[in-house]
Chain A
Amino acid sequence: MDSNLLWIPLFPFLGFLLNGILGKRLGNRAVSVIASVAPLLAFMVSFGAWRKIIDPASSGALHWDGFPWIWLDGILEIPFALHFDGLSAVMCLVITGVGSLIHLYSIGYMKGDPGYHRYFAYLNLFTTFMLLLVLGDNLLLLFIGWEGVGLCSYLLIGFWFQEDENCAAGKKAFIVNRVGDLAFLLGMFLCLIYFGTLEMSALTNADNIAQVSMETTGFMADPDTGTGGMAVITAIAILLFIGATGKSAQIPLYVWLPDAMAGPTPVSALIHAATMVTSGVYLCCRLMPLFEAAPMALSIVAVVGACTALLAALIAFTQNDIKKVLAYSTVSQLGYMFFAIGVGAFSAAFFHVVTHAFFKALLFLGSGAVIHAMHHEQDMRKMGGLRKQLPFTHLTFLIGTFAIAGVPPLAGFFSKDEILFAGYKAGIMDGNSLATMFWYVSVATAGMTAFYMMRCVAMTFWGNSNVDAKLEGKVHEPGGWIGFALFVLAIASALGGFLNVPEFLGGHAILGHFTGLHVSHANMTPEELDILHAGEWTSMFISLAIAGAGLLVGYLFYRNGSGLPAAFRSSAPGAFLGNLSENKFYVDELYAFLIVRPFEAISQLMHTLIDQVLIDRLLVGGSALFVRGLGELTRRMQTGFIPGYLLTFGCGALVLIYILLNQLAKGGAQ
């Protein structure tokens, strides 16, 4: 019982209230102080809680029972309770730590924006919901955070709502996420039915899972006997994973993330790279035992993850917008994480979440610094040679690039290596042909990652300057908070990998043990351990070689005046592949053709048939016509000819008298 936990999401929420309500009157200075102090305070509380749970004497987790929230005695009891264990501790520290840096960075980046206080209010609200997401002790509370971050993402993507494009991107993100959220909700309903609760501890309890594993759903069952349907546990895992594909931008719902780059760059760094998009991975890690009990669902996760990683990397090859490259790179890296989950390496996936938060936030903030210096120019073809004007940004961006490419000993090397090894083990060492195939895919993707990041660096910072003559001499290094955030994140990206150095390299996999995701090797014989370590060495050399090759080829391609990209594009297969990649494999067009257009056609049909014809003409117009016709009929009685009225009146009187007399006669008879 530790009510201090509540302060973690509460501080940013107070910041949101203050800035949201009073922001305009407080002035920009006060707004930025409030906005950045709020996550810093949350960081300190998280840090304090973390100190408590690493104490060997503690139970390793803090819990706040909260209060009854949705309470139907004995039927549905959902408390508003927070849980702080290794997993949520790491998430909290990343969210508040990286989040604080990005808040500070935003002070410099958003300077002079008319929506200054609105921006920081949204950012604080986002932090609140993200913390609620990772701290929630039941799926429903997690879902509240899940929806909340989606809302903030929508608000911030469309932050510059004066431009239609940005609004469309915001709406796209929101609507695509709804698809996933529906599946998430269905998964929660299944949990409620079969587990009877949404509490994390119950959903990950081995006995409960063993019990639920017996159950099957009617889905895909034999139509005659009604048996042999999909296992409930598989259905739950798949539905929750579909929810994760929405939030974490996986095939088929990844299309919103590249468009989400319409928002301010710090938002892309915080929401669309470091935190929100990894919440799907967090969900899977949080429910690890449940996913592990559903091998079929895990295979789907692995295949989807590897395919997403490959597809996004292929698209990133030809993007010219610096943020789009990073966006597709994010999709690709998220695919990696899901691939790791799919092959059972939850620890590796979560490790990659953390390191990715560091280096991708760094890369985004670096690109933001470039964009800021270039007066909102995002096209890399109009950059080049910025190394001279922006030496510090160049250095930090290079660190980020090497980290994501997997150059030792930077952060990405360790986490990516662990993921690749997990694939190697599941595929080649355990002899699973499907996993082997997708291991090849992920290795290829690792090389491609190095290649397109090298391209990005070369086009932006190296070679000849293509900067617009108007900007000549105006491009200067952004200092202050922007520089500070880049500096800290560069250090984190460089050293973050040491959080989880694997055992074969002499480390202790601290992060994996701390989060409880690490698969113990304690019960292995020395021979088995030797084989394992041999595999780890092999995998490491393969990943090193592929990353080095990617970087080298990228350098050779895009170094000054190589002319290779143009030569490649002018060859027939090159032109074909280049066009495919440049047009994002026409996925948006495919979705437009398959879903958007038919939907619009149905809407149009509904509009004309139901709305215009049925409702407007038939119901509204029809009732008016009916009343009018009735009036037309009855107005004939209104002749204005007085003797006519009198006749009617007389006849009526006669009838009345007749009735009256009849009654009297009856009365007399009695």
Chain B
Amino acid sequence: MFSLPALLYLSALLFSIGIYGVLARRNILVVLMSLELMLNAVNIALVGFGRVHALSTTSGEHGGQIFTLMVLAVAAAEAAIGLSLLLLIWRRWKTIDLRELCRLSG
């Protein structure tokens, strides 16, 4: 039932959707969500590769899975910081539209 290509296709699809979201959407909230999507796409790929790695060797390593947990933890932290920044931006400028937040424009 396990198929690495299928997993990788899924991962690539999710990643692409994520990239699209990050690049094309104006709403910071949606951008953050798309970022989560990209992270999770990577997680899927990691889990898949980890599984292949564990099967092909006898050492019983689970590096891929462990790394995924690590990414989840970082993603949680990132989401917390991202959302609190979002909150602050909203309070200060009353907008979360990226196109209106070009204050560093040269």
Contacts and interface: CB of A to CB of B under 8 A. Distances in A.
Contacts of B22: 643, 646
Contacts of B19: 650
A657 to B, nearest CB: 13
B105 interface: yes
Nearest to A638: B106
B98 interface: yes
A642 B105 contact: no
Interface string B17-33: 00100111000000100
B2 to A, nearest CB: 26
Interface in A533-574: none
A641 B23 contact: no
Contacts of B31: 643
Given A646-B22, A646-B23, A647-B23, A641 B98 contact: yes
Q: What range describes how many residues of B lie at the interface?
A: 10 to 19
Interface string A629-669: 00000011111111100110010000000000000000000
Contacts of B105: 638-641
B85 to A, nearest CB: 12
Interface in A168-208: none
A460 B31 CA distance: 107
B104 interface: yes
Contact of B24 (A635, A642, A643): A643
A328 B45 CA distance: 108
B102 A641 contact: yes
A642 B106 contact: no
B106 A636 contact: yes
Nearest to A641: B102
Contacts of A639: 102, 105-106
Contact of B98 (A636, A637, A642, A650): A642
A640 B98 CA distance: 9
Contacts of B103: 640
Interface residues of A, number: 12
Contact of B102 (A636, A637, A640): A640
B62 interface: no
Interface string B87-106: 00000000000110111111
Dominant SS at the A interface?
helix
Nearest to B103: A640
A635 B98 contact: no
B81 to A, nearest CB: 15
B99 A641 contact: yes
B106 A635 contact: yes
Interface in B1-40: 19, 22-24, 31
B102 A643 contact: no
Interface string B57-99: 0000000000000000000000000000000000000000011
A652 to B, nearest CB: 14
A448 B22 CA distance: 107
B84 to A, nearest CB: 17
Nearest to A631: B106
A636 B103 CA distance: 14
Contacts of B23: 643, 646-647, 650
Contacts of A640: 101-106
Nearest to B28: A642
A624 B66 CA distance: 57
A643 B98 contact: yes
Contacts of A635: 106
Contacts of B104: 638, 640
A642 B19 CA distance: 13
A140 to B, nearest CB: 65
Nearest to A632: B106
Given A643-B31, A643-B98, A637 B24 contact: no
Contacts of A637: 106
Nearest to A634: B106
A617 to B, nearest CB: 28
A301 to B, nearest CB: 77
A253 B106 CA distance: 66
B56 to A, nearest CB: 19
Contacts of B99: 641
A578 to B, nearest CB: 79
A647 B103 CA distance: 18
A227 B35 CA distance: 93
A635 B105 CA distance: 8
B91 to A, nearest CB: 19
Contacts of B102: 639-641
A637 to B, nearest CB: 7
A588 to B, nearest CB: 64
A650 B22 CA distance: 11
A650 B23 CA distance: 10
A627 to B, nearest CB: 15
A648 to B, nearest CB: 11
A639 B105 CA distance: 4
A636 B24 CA distance: 20
Nearest to B104: A640
Contacts of B101: 640, 642
Interface in B40-64: none
A492 to B, nearest CB: 87
Interface in A446-505: none
Nearest to B31: A643
A271 to B, nearest CB: 69
B26 to A, nearest CB: 8
Closest 5 CB pairs of A and B: A638-B106, A640-B105, A635-B106, A640-B102, A640-B104
12 contacts: A635-B106, A637-B106, A638-B106, A639-B102, A640-B105, A641-B99, A641-B102, A642-B98, A642-B101, A646-B22, A647-B23, A650-B19
Given A641-B98, A643-B24, 12 more contacts: A638-B104, A638-B106, A639-B105, A640-B102, A641-B105, A642-B98, A642-B101, A643-B22, A643-B23, A646-B22, A646-B23, A650-B23
